[in-house]
């Protein structure tokens, strides 16, 4: 703000641009900062605008992280590292991403989820060689963030159904 209660025009422009981006869907603060910088807006105006929007509840990285996790999980079960990596790629800080993922998965059974994913995946696999099936299934589960122990258990459990 400058002088007699007037809003700085650069802050107003930054707010308008951010609101336009938010109109399509929720966005993390880091994403908004990057997009506003590309427009050539000064950092001070960007920070001021985003602080105001955050204060009004329009920018909320915690809510974004929770909603994004649910969106990812609606498409298919994944676990820790995979979910955290996607949040970080979206612009969520690593600490917040790890916390949000840990909170969401706290009451879930990783081994059960991995076994469910393995059963679904093995039905779609077209290989008849046991070693190739195990390797491909293990890689698939690892990419979805399941731990080594959960992957081994899931592959062992799914294996009898495939042969």
How many structural domains comprise the chain? Answer: 3
Q: Is the pTM of this model over 0.85?
A: no
Question: Residue 78 corresponds to which tokens in the numbers above?
Answer: 């994944």
The residue range of the domain holding 119 is 110-162
Long-range CB contact pairs, 20-25, < 8 A, 24+: 22/53, 22/58, 22/59
The verdict on 68 and 97 lying in the same domain is yes
Predicted confidence at residue 7, as pLDDT, reads 77
Question: Residue 137 corresponds to which tokens in the numbers above?
Answer: 């299934």
Predicted confidence at residue 160, as pLDDT, reads 53
Distance CA 69, CA 122 (A): 25
The verdict on 25 and 47 lying in the same domain is yes
| CA trace torsion 94, 97, 99, 100 (10° rounding) | 170
Q: What is the pLDDT of residues 60-82, one digit of tens each?
A: 999 999 999 999 999 999 999 99
Residue 127, in any domain of the structure: yes
Q: What is the mean pLDDT of residues 31-35?
A: 95
Residue 21, in any domain of the structure: yes
């Amino acid at each position: 703000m400058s002088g007699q209660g007037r809003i700085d025009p650069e802050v107003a422009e930054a707010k308008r641009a951010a609101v336009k981006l938010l109109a399509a869907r929720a966005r993390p603060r880091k994403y908004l900062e990057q997009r506003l910088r590309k427009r050539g807006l000064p950092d001070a105006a960007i920070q001021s605008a985003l602080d105001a929007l955050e204060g009004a509840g329009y920018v909320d990285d915690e809510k974004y992280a929770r909603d994004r996790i649910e969106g990812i999980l609606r498409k298919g079960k994944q676990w820790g590292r995979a979910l955290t990596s996607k949040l970080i790629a979206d612009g969520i800080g690593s600490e917040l991403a790890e916390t949000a993922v840990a909170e969401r998965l706290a009451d879930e059974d990783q081994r059960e989820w991995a076994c469910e994913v393995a059963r679904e995946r093995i039905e779609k696999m077209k290989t008849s060689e046991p070693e190739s099936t195990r390797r491909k299934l293990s890689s698939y589960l690892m990419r979805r963030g399941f731990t080594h122990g959960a992957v081994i258990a899931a592959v062992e459990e799914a294996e009898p159904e495939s042969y």
